[in-house]
């Protein structure tokens, strides 16, 4: 029964996608931005590449490329097809690699933001390898479809999985110790207004900028001295460790940097957001290592006291 159902689906895909070869040719041309380079990569003639692209365009009744003078450019329809092709081929290639390396049954796919990956996961990898020496961990972006587990920041209520509280959060100003050698340490909210600040874009629900942090303390700041603003929080913290100013430290992320002295707290002012971090298991996926990963992620280093 299952086999016949699979065969029916396969025939359906062949009806909708008559030529995988044409799609692979299209992907190469779109990625390389050239029919000539695609032909060289695939080991065929440029005429053969052009023929496959024309076949797809006639099949879809739309142009996939603008043919410019000595150049090609994706149309909006071509861009949409290339986006899904790139994602699909990457997933197929990753699965091939796992099967060939014998890793398919021993890998945990963990989805998290780049900030959580860089600042929370990476410093703890040696401890994880000691705890689970046979485990292979794969880190992917949030909402990745292949994730076995996901780290999310929010209220713990999501429809696509079961959430387990990981830890709450605290947010406070941090800087590099070296920064204080040429700047006076701020001791009040007014001092912070006048300090050179490094800010981050509010990319997550509940993620604080300097303005929202001040408002959480019932202060409405005047024009702030934002010397640098970063889209990625990991870049913000990197800039702070380089002595470029004061950043907001999310305690659960910067704890290793506080523990080793790369960053220090510069005031006692602190905001405790209502949201928290959760370990989310998507529905239909079970991980025998989830409890161990939870304990590993919760382990805290000993941080230095604020100045």
**Cβ within 8 Å of residue 250, ≥6 positions away:** 169, 170, 171, 233
Q: Which residue has the higher pLDDT, 182 or 96?
A: 182
Cα(113)–Cα(108) distance, rounded to whole angstroms?
A: 16
For 196-255, what is each residue's pLDDT tens digit? 999 998 776 668 899 999 999 999 877 888 989 998 899 999 999 999 999 999 999 999
Q: Which CATH superfamily is domain 112-167+276-298 in?
A: Periplasmic binding protein-like II (3.40.190.10)
Is residue 278 helix, strand or coil? strand
Residue spans of alpha helices (H) in the chain: 2-16, 20-32, 35-42, 46-60, 76-100, 114-116, 125-131, 189-193, 210-216, 233-241, 251-259, 290-298
Quote the pLDDT of residue 8: 45
- Hey, where are the domains in the chain? 2-100, 112-167+276-298, 171-265
Task: Give, as one character, the DSSP assignment of residue 121.
Answer: I
| The two three-digit tokens of residue 108, written as one number | 């945990």
Closest CA to 255 of 303, 306, 207: 303
Closest CA to 235 of 113, 137, 131: 113
Same fold, 2-100 and 112-167+276-298: no
Is residue 13 classed exposed, middle or buried when 0-12, 13-18 and 19+ CB atoms within 10 A define those classes?
exposed
Cα(125)–Cα(123) distance, rounded to whole angstroms?
A: 6
Architecture of the domain defined by 2-100? Orthogonal Bundle (1.10)
Quote the pLDDT of residue 102: 56
For 215-224, what is each residue's pLDDT tens digit? 999 998 778 8
171-265 carries CATH number 3.40.120.10: no
For 84-141, what is each residue's pLDDT tens digit? 888 777 777 766 666 666 554 567 889 999 999 999 999 888 888 887 787 788 899 8
Quote the pLDDT of residue 294: 81
């Amino acid at each position: 029964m299952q086999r016949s159902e699979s065969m029916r689906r396969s025939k359906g895909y062949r009806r909708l996608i008559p030529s995988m070869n044409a799609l692979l040719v299209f992907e190469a041309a779109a990625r390389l931005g050239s029919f000539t380079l695609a032909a060289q990569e695939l080991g065929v003639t440029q005429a053969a590449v052009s023929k496959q692209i024309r076949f797809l365009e006639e099949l879809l009744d739309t142009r996939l490329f603008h043919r410019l003078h000595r150049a090609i450019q994706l149309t909006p329809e071509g861009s949409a097809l290339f986006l899904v092709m790139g994602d699909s081929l990457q997933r197929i290639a990753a699965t091939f690699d796992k099967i060939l390396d014998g890793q398919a049954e021993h890998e945990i796919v963990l989805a998290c933001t780049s900030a959580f990956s860089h600042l929370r996961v990476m410093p703890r990898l040696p401890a994880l390898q000691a705890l689970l020496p046979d485990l292979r961990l794969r880190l992917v972006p949030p909402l990745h479809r292949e994730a076995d587990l996901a780290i999310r920041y929010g209220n713990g209520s999501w429809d696509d999985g079961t959430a387990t509280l990981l830890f709450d959060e605290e947010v406070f100003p941090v800087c590099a110790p070296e920064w204080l050698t040429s700047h006076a340490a701020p001791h009040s909210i007014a001092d912070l207004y006048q300090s050179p600040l490094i800010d981050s874009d509010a990319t997550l629900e509940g993620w604080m900028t300097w303005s929202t942090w001040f408002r959480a303390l019932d202060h409405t700041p005047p024009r702030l001295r934002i010397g640098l603003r970063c889209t990625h929080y990991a870049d913000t913290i990197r800039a702070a460790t380089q002595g470029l100013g004061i950043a907001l430290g999310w305690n659960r992320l910067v704890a290793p940097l506080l523990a080793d002295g790369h960053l220090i707290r510069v005031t006692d002012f602190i905001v405790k957001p209502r949201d928290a971090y959760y370990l989310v298991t998507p529905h239909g996926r079970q991980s025998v290592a989830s409890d161990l990963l939870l304990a590993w992620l919760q382990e805290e280093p000993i941080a230095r006291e604020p100045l």
